[in-house]
Structure 1
Amino acid sequence: MPHPQEDLLIAKQIAPTAMRLLVLQVLQQHAAALSLTDVEQLLQPVDRVTVHRTLKTFTEKGLAHRIEDGSGAAKYALCEPACTPELHQDLHVHFFCTSCRETSCLPTVAVPAITLPGAYQVQETSLVMKGRCARCAAPTETMQ
């Protein structure tokens, strides 16, 4: 019987081990980007080093991207299907909610092109916006 998660790993040239399948499943089940600690807690008990290596492999193979949102812990989210190890297609805005502390990918909001002066050579571009996410900013119903 076909296993879509195994097929996805194989398509990205990642050997489908049990841990890799579990980490992939966790990333697929969460809309917000997750830190190493988040993944580790969701999969308890698990070896932290193995989870770290799995996330690193996913990033290197174009399956996930790493987000530095200023919270002190890198977060990980699945890439767009077109991402490759050589070229991540994830030039979109990331949003860090200062209330719930979740980081979300906003793939419909592109990072604007910026031209740098002189001999500056860009190697990586990211844009993190901070504020309150839609869920936290929504008015709460008053109790009667």
Structure 2
Amino acid sequence: MTMTPPPAHQDAAATPELSLQLWRHGLRCTPSRLCRLRLLSASGEHLSSAELGGELRGRGLPFDQATVCRTLETFTDVGVAHAVHGPGPKRYGVSSEPHHHTVCEECGRVRDLAIDHMRIAVERITELSGVRTGAAGSLLLYGRCAHCSQK
């Protein structure tokens, strides 16, 4: 997966906001953490630790894969990012808006699904099954993405 980096002016503008986000969650704003958070935020996708490592490698940035994994887990532990389990590796995302996720059972791709779009369906699921959303307020919906469905 190759991501197009944001224009330099966007990247620089996002840095103070991302730095503040780390600080608010009790994390030191190291260059390494800031770079990883910037890449994860700019991707607009849910990335595995290997995919994030690939992005760092592709940009010629030094990294250690174990440190990338620990950083993503730290981001998840403090609430800077969230993790989505599905087939294949765990994937990590960053979003300021509450949302549900769809997970492709074949390729593992994770997509955000706005809570407002699912409000009536979630109420009906709760009514029929008694199951309520978790502490994060989101559901995981498994199926096959449009690309995998066409195979």
Aligned match of 1:60: 77
In structure 2, what residue type is equivalent to 1:55? Answer: L
Q: Hey, which of these two has a bigger chunk of strand by percent? A: 1
Q: Equivalent residue for 1:115?
A: 130
Q: Is the 8 A contact 1:65 1:77 kept in 2?
A: yes
Matches within 5 A, 1:25-36: 25-36=38-49
Whose helix fraction is larger, Structure 1's or Structure 2's?
Answer: 2
Please say if 1:75 is aligned against 2:91: yes
> How many equivalent pairs are there?
121
Q: Structure 1 counterpart of 2:88, which letter?
A: G
- The percentage of aligned residue pairs carrying the same residue is 25
How has the CA–CA distance of structure 1 residues 14 and 37 changed in structure 2, closer, same or farther, with 3 Å as cutoff?
Answer: same
Letter in 2 for 1:23: R
Deviations 1:107-130 (A, max 9, x none): 3335834526xxxxx778741322
Q: CA deviation at 1:98?
A: 6.1
Give the deviation of 1:18 after TM superposition.
1.3
Residue deviations 1:87-140 (CA, integer Å, cap 9, x gap):
xxx5x4312346765211213335834526xxxxx778741322224xx49xxx
Report the Cα offset of residue 34 of structure 1: 0.4
Pick one of 22, 27, 32 that aligns with 1:9: 22
- Choose the corresponding residue for 1:41, options 35, 43, 54: 54
User: Which residue type is aligned with residue 16 of structure 1?
Assistant: C
Which deviates more, 36-45 or 97-106? 97-106
Cα contact 2:88–2:108 (8 A) shared by 1: no
Cα distance in 1 for residues equivalent to 2:51 and 2:83? 14
8 Å CA contact 1:59–1:65 kept in 2: the answer is yes
Q: Please, what TM-score do these two structures have when normalized by structure 1?
A: 0.68
SS in 2 for 1:94: strand
Contact kept, 8 Å, 2:102 with 2:142, in 1: the verdict is yes
TM norm structure 2:
0.65
Which stretch shows the higher mean deviation, 37-46 or 1-10?
1-10
Paired position in structure 2 for 1:140? none
Determine if contact 2:56/2:63 at 8 Å carries over to the other structure: yes
Report the CA distance shift for 1:9/1:34 in structure 2 as closer, same or farther (over 3 A).
same
